[in-house]
């Protein structure tokens, strides 16, 4: 497979993961926080994609080290960003399913819906923003690699992946537990990292570990809501 085809598949996989994660995480947030915080995921997704785009645009226009341009930025660290994004996705799910109960005692979310200084809300913002920033940066780096007419085909692959991610996520919610399903979306940027990198060992190892945690299931079992802990039943199972 030629490098161009690999990059097209990679950007489609990453865009699929972004939309899949963005929509799916709203279901989890509606349980662990108040339902209106579910829309926080949309804002964080836009920030995660927009902030890297602004950063790379400024560097391209001369803000940063002298001589920096689109191609050097695009060629450095793409596989690392994809690998980090693939790892950050399941870790963010674990932080919400397991970490929310730990921080809730520090500052409970009240019936009024709490505020942005509540510990659970701050935890949510931090854990969700990281994968969005990494995946958004990966999309930008892949687009920067395109030259001439390839920009249009790369952007088309980007839109196709995002569309498919948005289409399949809701039906899959009725089949698989939502936290496990979201963690599985981390396999897509790992696959993209394996496509664009000559060194495929790290993405493969990370993928094996992720699949093992999904089979185990315990890290993704959601047992608490905004108000109480469910001692016996597992939510979304």
DSSP result, 88-122: HHHHHHHHHHHHHHHHHTTSPPPTT---TTSHHHH
Per-residue pLDDT, 147: 81
3-state secondary structure 175-234: CCCHHHHHHHCCHHHHHHHHHHCCCCHHHHHHHHHHHHHHHHCHHHCECECCCCECCCCC
pLDDT in tens, 141-192: 999 888 888 899 999 999 999 999 999 999 999 999 999 999 999 999 999 9
Per-residue pLDDT, 106: 54
Per-residue pLDDT, 227: 67
In the chain, which stretches have pLDDT less than 50? 62-75, 109-113, 237
Domain extent listing, the chain: 3-220
Per-residue pLDDT, 228: 65
Per-residue pLDDT, 145: 85
Q: Give CA–CA dist 28/38, Å, rounded.
A: 8
Per-residue pLDDT, 110: 46
DSSP readout, 120-146?
A: HHHHHHHHHHHHHHHHHHHHHHHHHH-
Please state which architecture CATH assigns to domain 3-220: Up-down Bundle (1.20)
Per-residue pLDDT, 105: 58
Q: Give CA–CA dist 171/150, Å, rounded.
A: 33
Return phi, psi of residue 110, to 5°. Answer: -80, 175
């Amino acid at each position: 497979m030629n490098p161009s085809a690999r990059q097209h598949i990679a950007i489609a996989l990453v865009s699929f993961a972004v939309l899949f994660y963005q929509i799916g995480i709203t279901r989890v947030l509606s349980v662990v926080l108040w339902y209106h915080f579910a829309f926080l995921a949309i804002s964080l997704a836009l920030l995660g994609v927009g902030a890297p785009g602004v950063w790379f645009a400024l560097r391209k226009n001369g803000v940063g080290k002298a001589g920096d341009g689109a191609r050097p930025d695009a060629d450095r660290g793409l596989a690392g960003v994809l690998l980090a994004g693939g790892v950050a996705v399941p870790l963010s799910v674990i932080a919400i399913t397991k970490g929310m109960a730990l921080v809730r005692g520090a500052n409970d979310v009240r019936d009024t819906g709490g505020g942005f200084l509540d510990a659970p809300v701050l935890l949510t913002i931090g854990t969700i923003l990281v994968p969005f920033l990494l995946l958004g940066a990966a999309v930008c780096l892949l687009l920067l690699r395109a030259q001439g007419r390839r920009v249009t085909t790369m952007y088309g692959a980007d839109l196709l992946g995002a569309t498919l991610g948005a289409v399949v996520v809701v039906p899959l919610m009725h089949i698989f537990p939502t936290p496990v399903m979201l963690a599985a979306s981390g396999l897509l940027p790992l696959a993209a990292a394996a496509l664009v990198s000559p060194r495929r060992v790290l993405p493969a190892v990370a993928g094996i570990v992720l699949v093992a945690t999904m089979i185990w299931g315990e890290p993704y079992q959601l047992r608490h809501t905004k108000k109480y802990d469910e001692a016996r039943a597992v939510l979304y199972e």
